[in-house]
């Protein structure tokens, strides 16, 4: 019943879409849909790449980094103290 869409049904659906959204907005909608698809694709690639890099990354930070400090207010050096950042324990099992 619903599985067979012929040419008349597709044309009717397109006419309804044009009437609902208007012919002027359709190119803009298609353009924004294309941009969204490209962004989604690039983010998916970046997540896959990050997942591969995490396996090879060392779990401990390099020893030559200076400890970071937290200041209570900009310019207030009397209350600053060194801070050690927690290491990521999610990759170790």
Instruction: Give the dihedral sign, CA 31/37/42/46.
Output: positive
Give 15-58 pLDDT, tens digit per residue. Answer: 898 888 888 888 888 899 999 999 999 999 998 888 776 555 55
Give 4-16 pLDDT, tens digit per residue. Answer: 888 899 999 988 9
CA atoms within 13 A on the CB side of 49: 6
Identify the residue with better confidence: 84 or 17.
Answer: 17
Give 62-80 pLDDT, tens digit per residue. Answer: 566 666 666 566 666 666 5
Q: In 22-91, which residue ranges form alpha helices assigned H by DSSP?
A: 25-56
Residue 84 scores a pLDDT above 90: no
pTM of the predicted model as reported, rounded to 2 decimal places: 0.39
Q: Which of 78, 76, 80 is CA-nearest to residue 68?
A: 80
């Amino acid at each position: 019943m619903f599985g067979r869409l012929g040419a008349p049904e597709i044309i009717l659906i397109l006419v309804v879409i044009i009437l609902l959204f208007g012919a002027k907005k359709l190119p803009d909608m298609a353009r924004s849909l294309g941009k969204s698809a490209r962004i989604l694709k690039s983010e998916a690639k970046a997540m896959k790449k990050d997942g591969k890099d995490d396996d090879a990354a060392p779990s401990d930070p390099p020893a030559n980094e200076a400890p970071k400090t937290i200041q209570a207010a900009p310019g207030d050096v009397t209350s600053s103290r060194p801070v050690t950042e927690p290491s990521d324990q999610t990759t170790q099992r």
